[in-house]
């Protein structure tokens, strides 16, 4: 017991030191539960990471632009196809009406002479 009192006199504990706000800090729950992490990255590492991310973004943008160009080309082809189909439809309707008229004329009764 006397040894414990002697040790306490040597370290001279105060409420501030005991609560961890003094010169020495007690181990907290966060110190135990927080996993060890790497030291913060250097400026060069951050810059390199940003360059890699920028390159990835630019590559993604280039692929998106190529896809857009392909889709635009296909849309133009489809518009031309639709135009051709509309022209054919108009031609066939006109031809059908003429043939229908010719058939009606052929089967109509002849006027009396």
Concatenated DSSP letters for 49-100?
HHHHHHHHHHHHHHHHHHHHHHHHHHHHHHHHHHHHHHHHHHHHHHHHHHHH
Domain span holding position 62: 2-107
- What is the pTM assigned to this prediction? 0.47
In a domain, 19, yes or no: yes
End-to-end CA distance of the chain: 149
How many structural domains are present in the chain?
1
In a domain, 70, yes or no: yes
pLDDT at 58 (0 to 100): 97
At 21-70, the pLDDT tens digits run 445 555 565 655 555 666 677 888 899 999 999 999 999 999 999 999 99
What CA–CA distances, in Å, run from 30 to 26, 33, 59, 70? 11, 5, 41, 55
In a domain, 40, yes or no: yes
Highest mean pLDDT among 6-10, 26-30, 31-35, 84-88 belongs to: 84-88
Q: How big is the chain by its Cα radius of gyration, in Å?
A: 45
In a domain, 113, yes or no: no
């Amino acid at each position: 017991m006397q040894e414990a009192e002697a040790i306490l006199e040597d370290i001279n504990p105060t409420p501030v030191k005991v609560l961890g706000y003094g010169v020495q800090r007690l181990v907290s729950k966060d110190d135990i539960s927080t996993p060890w992490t790497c030291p913060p990255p250097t400026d060069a590492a951050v810059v390199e990471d940003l360059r890699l991310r920028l390159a990835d973004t630019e590559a993604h943008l280039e692929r998106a632009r190529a896809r857009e160009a392909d889709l635009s080309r296909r849309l133009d082809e489809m518009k031309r196809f639709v135009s051709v189909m509309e022209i054919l439809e108009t031609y066939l309707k006109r031809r059908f009406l003429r043939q229908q008229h010719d058939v009606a004329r052929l089967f109509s009764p002849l006027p009396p002479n």
